[in-house]
């Protein structure tokens, strides 16, 4: 099939790479979000998907809005049979959905209808799910509501962060996406409507949602931190200074909520249940470091608490 691939961030790269290497499909163009300012140097940077397309000499389209007439004209001229999508980052109007004869097929990182929305991996970890996965489905007007072609499952480890889990799903999902396109092309695969039960939603995780509430149980705090690692990153405040947190360790002792204790064996914080031990932290303007190294240099006040 003639394919126009739409995607933007790193998790979409394995899918694009697999389709470029496919003997059955031809990637005639890539659609990605416009180049954006990123990094400490605030340089204008191409998306990971755009960079991979450039490496292979594939034309890259970067519409500001998929509804732009110029983009619709370009896509129509390309005459794609199908448009696979992985984390593109923009809603597609019906005029655009109608262009390819097999429509637009999305790879979504959850077992639909669970966790429809922008942050399914983060939501699954935060909720304490033991199993998640990826789904391919036909895009329609609703948000992640279209009929499903296939799924793969993945166990969530107790040490998984959103980053490590998404890395695995990006690889297994790429295999699923290629198999889905194969089945759509030869007519052996038909989508099945999503069930009406089991629907849940996963909106984008904001920086405020990553601000840790220490009045919650230790398990909930640990899950939240893992769910927002690496982005947007869990954080708290100590003595008025913002502190980014890496994954933590739960311990079998109790401290009053928000209390912080520095010992030879580590830095401990009280929660609504048992305490947790901080592992890696990042003060503003500095690199990640061990919590003990940070505490020794931070000169915490005697009544310091986490906020």
Query: Which residues does the annotation place in the binding site for (6S)-5,6,7,8-tetrahydrofolate?
Result: 110-113
Identify which of 53, 65, 70 has the alpha carbon closest to the alpha carbon of residue 19: 53
Annotated binding site: 110-113
Degrees to nearest 5, angle at CA 227 with 304 and 156: 130
Taking a C-beta distance cutoff of 8 angstroms, is the pair 102, 81 a contact? yes
Tokens of 34: 């416009």
CA distance 265 to 44: 44
CA–CA gap between residue 162 and residue 9 (Å, rounded): 14
- Cβ partners under 8 Å of residue 19, min gap 6: 3, 5, 25, 27, 84, 177, 178, 181
Distance of CA 150 to the CA centre of its chain: 20
The closest of 272, 300, 281 to 214, measured between CA atoms, is: 272
Residue with tokens 């499909």, as numbered in its chain: 25
Q: Please, which residues bridge with residue 263 across strands?
A: 266
């Amino acid at each position: 099939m003639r394919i126009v691939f739409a995607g933007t961030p790193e998790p979409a790269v394995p899918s694009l790479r697999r389709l470029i290497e496919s003997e059955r499909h031809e990637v005639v163009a890539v659609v990605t979000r416009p180049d954006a300012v990123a990094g400490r140097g605030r340089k204008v940077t191409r998306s990971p998907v755009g960079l991979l397309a450039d490496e292979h000499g594939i034309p890259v389209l970067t519409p500001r809005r998929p509804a732009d007439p110029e983009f619709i004209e370009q896509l129509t001229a390309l005459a794609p049979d199908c448009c696979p999508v992985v984390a593109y980052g923009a809603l597609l109007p019906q005029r655009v959905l109608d262009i390819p004869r097999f429509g637009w097929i999305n790879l979504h990182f959850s077992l639909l209808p669970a966790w429809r929305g922008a942050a399914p991996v983060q939501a699954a970890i935060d909720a304490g799910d033991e199993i998640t996965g990826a789904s391919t489905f036909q895009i329609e007007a609703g948000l992640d509501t279209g009929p499903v072609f296939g799924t793969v499952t993945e166990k969530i480890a107790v040490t998984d962060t959103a980053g490590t889990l998404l890395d695995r799903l990006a690889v297994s999902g790429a295999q699923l996406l290629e198999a889905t396109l194969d089945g759509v092309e030869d007519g052996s695969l038909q989508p099945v409507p999503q069930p009406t039960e089991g629907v849940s939603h996963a909106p984008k995780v904001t920086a405020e949602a990553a601000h840790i509430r220490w009045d919650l149980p230790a398990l909930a705090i640990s899950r939240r931190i893992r769910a927002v690692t690496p982005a947007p990153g869990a954080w708290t405040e100590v003595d008025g200074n913002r502190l980014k947190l890496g994954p933590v360790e739960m311990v079998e002792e109790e401290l009053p909520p928000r209390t912080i204790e520095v010992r030879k064996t580590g830095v401990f914080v009280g929660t609504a249940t048992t305490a947790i031990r901080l592992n890696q932290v990042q003060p503003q303007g500095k690199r990640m470091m061990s919590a003990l190294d940070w505490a020794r240099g931070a000169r915490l006040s005697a009544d310091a608490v986490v906020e």
